Amino acid sequence: MSTDPRGTDPIPGPVPLSWLLLSCAFLITGAAWLSVQIPYPLATHLRVLLLVLGLLLAAGAVILRPTPLLLTASAFIPFLAHGSMDEEWDTARLLLRIMLVAALAAGLLATVSRRLRKFIVSMLAVAHFLGILVTASLSPPPGAEAPWLSLQLWAYVYRPYLNFICLDMRYNFYAPDPVSDTIFRYRVEFANGDAAWYRLPDRAECRTALEFSRALAIPEFVSGQAAAPDDFARLTRLREDAGENHIPPLPMPNIDPSAQYEEPSPDAKLYIESYAHHIAVAKKHPTDPGQAVTGVKIYRVGHNVPSAKQVSEGMDPNDPTLYSAIYLGEYGADGKLKPSCYHVEVDKLGQIIRETRDPFLYWLIPIIREKDGTVTDFVKLHGDAHAEAKP
C-alpha cells in the first residue's frame, strides 16, 4: 500500500495494485500453460477461460500504471498464453504474437524522451496513412494498371498489417461507374423429387435494411470473372446446339456471344461451392423437413437499371425482363458441381484429359417478353428441366 508523499493519503495507490494484477495474470496464464498436458475436453474450456482472465488482468495492470518496466513485464503474459494455445488456434496465436510485440514496443517507447516519443509516434502515423493511401491507389482507371510502387509496397510491406486490421479497402464506392446489382436465384431439389425456388436477397426475410444490405453483398462477392477460355468457339457451338434441342427451345439472345458467357474466377468458384453447400444444409423441405437436399442449381442474376427513356415510356424498374441470369451450375449437397454438370478426368500429373460439361454452364439464360406481351422466364424453364451433359 502506497501513501501520499506527505503521508496523509490513506487510500491505496495504484503502484502495488498494478503489479499485483500482473502477478495474478502471470500465475493464471502459467496455470493455463501447465494445463496444456491435461487430456480432458473440459480442460480446454478451463484453459481458454484462464487465458482470457490472465490477459484481461494484464491489460488492467498496464492501464493502471503504464510504466516502462510494467509494460515490458506484461509481454510475458501473451508469451505464456501463446505457449498454452493449440496450434489449430493459429489466428489467436498470431494475435498474441502481436500483443507481445506491442507490449515490448510500448515498454521501449515509454523509456525514451518525450521529444523522441513524439517523433516515433508521428512516424508511425505517417507510415500508417501511407499504407492507407497505397491501398486506396490500387484501383486503377479502366484499362490501366495499378501504380507499380503501390503494388510492391502493398505486396511486400503493408498487406499483412492492413489485412490484419481490416483497413485494406479501396474506397471506390460506386466508381468508376455505378453498376446494377447482382442477386441469386436458386433452385433446391429434394430427395423426393420436389423442388423449391428461392431468391437472395429476399426482402420478406430481412427485418432491417442492414440485413438486406448484407444479403445483397453475398451474390456481389462472387462477381469476379475469369478470362474467356481458349475453346470459346466450341463452347458457343455447344450452347447453340443445346438451346435448339432444349424443350422448349432456349435461344441465345441476339447479342455478342462473348457478352453472354461469364465464367467465375477461380476464387469465386470456390466461394460458390461453399454457397451451394450452405444452401443444401440450411434449406429445408417446406412440408417435409426430413427430405434431404440432393441438388442446388444457382443463377447469378444481374438486375439491370432501366434507362430514363424506358421509364418515361412506362417500363417498371421491377420489370422481369430487366433481369439477366448466368447459370452457375448444379451442385450436390456436398457443394461440388455435379458430374452431370461438370466433370474432368485428369492424368497422374493433374492435367486434364477429358472434360464433360453442361452446355449451358456459365451462359446467359434470358428472360424475354414475347410479341403478345407475355414474359417467358427461361431461368425457370431451364432450372426445372433436366439438362444433359455433353463431352
Partner 1 sequence: MNPNPESAAHDRAWTDRVAASWDHFWFHPADPIVLGLLRICCGLVALYVHLNYTRHLQEYFGENAWIGLQTINVVRTETPVLANPWGWDEPSLAALPDDRQAQKQILDYYNKYGVDPRQTVAMGHSAWSIWFHLTDPWWMEVVHLAVLVILGLFTLGICTRITAALAWLAAVSYIQRSPAVTYGMDTLMIATLFYLMIGPSGAALSLDRLLARYRARRRARALGRPLLAQAAPPLASANFTLRLVQIHLCIIYLFSGLSKMQGGMWWNGTAAWVAMANAEIAPLQYRFVVDALRYLTQHRLLWEIVMTGGTLTTLVIEIGFPFLIWNRSMRWPMLAGALFLHMSIGLCMGLLTFAAAILTMAIAFIPPEAVHGTLRKLRQSLPFARRAADPAAGAEKAATNLEPQTHEAKVAIALAEEKHTDSMTNGQIPPHVPAAPGGGRILPEETRPRAIIKNGNERI
The minimum distance between CB 172 and partner 1, in angstroms, equals 4
Q: Per-residue DSSP letters for 175-193? A: -SS---EEEEEEEEEETTS
Binding mask 111-150 for partner 1 (x = CB under 8 A): ---x---x--xx--x--xx--xx--xx-x-xx-----x--
116 CB-contact burial (10 Å; exposed 0-12 / middle 13-18 / buried 19+): exposed
**CA dihedral angle for residue 305, residue 310, residue 316, residue 317, rounded to 10 degrees:** 10
CA atoms of 236 and 360, how far apart (whole Å): 10
User: Which residue reads 422481369 in cell numbers?
Assistant: 320
Binding mask 211-250 for partner 1 (x = CB under 8 A): xxxxxxxx--xx---x------------------------
- When the beta carbons of 210 and 247 are compared against partner 1, the nearer one is 210
Instruction: Pick out residues in 16-75 that bind partner 1 (CB under 8 A).
Output: 56, 59-60, 63, 66
- Confirm or reject binding of residue 369 to partner 1 (CB under 8 A): no
Stretch that binds partner 1, among 152-160, 230-238, 241-249, 284-292 (CB under 8 A): 152-160
Q: Choose which of 209, 289, 345, 372 interacts with partner 1 (CB under 8 A).
A: 209
Instruction: Pick out residues in 258-297 that bind partner 1 (CB under 8 A).
Output: 266-267, 270-271, 273-275, 277-278, 281-282
Stretch that binds partner 1, among 32-40, 232-240, 286-294, 342-350 (CB under 8 A): 342-350
The minimum distance between CB 360 and partner 1, in angstroms, equals 23
**Rounded to 5°, angle at Cα 123 from 118 and 125:** 95
Question: What is the 8-class DSSP label of residue 253?
Answer: P
The minimum distance between CB 251 and partner 1, in angstroms, equals 26
Q: Choose which of 42, 87, 113, 166 interacts with partner 1 (CB under 8 A).
A: 166
- When the beta carbons of 167 and 368 are compared against partner 1, the nearer one is 167
Q: Choose which of 38, 116, 255, 311 interacts with partner 1 (CB under 8 A).
A: 311
Q: Per-residue DSSP letters for 61-76? A: HHHH---HHHHHHHTH
State the DSSP H helix or E strand holding residue 315, giving kind and residue range, or none if neither. Answer: none
Stretch that binds partner 1, among 85-93, 289-297, 324-332, 372-380 (CB under 8 A): 85-93
- When the beta carbons of 175 and 251 are compared against partner 1, the nearer one is 175
The minimum distance between CB 133 and partner 1, in angstroms, equals 6
Residue 224 makes CB contacts below 8 A (sequence gap 6+) with 264, 265, 267, 268
Instruction: Give the residues across from 337 on adjacent strands.
Output: 331
Q: Choose which of 87, 177, 230, 345 interacts with partner 1 (CB under 8 A).
A: 177
**Separate counts of helices (H) and strands (E) for the chain:** 13, 9
- What Cα–Cα distance (Å) separates residue 160 from each residue in 94, 102, 147, 149? 11, 16, 19, 17
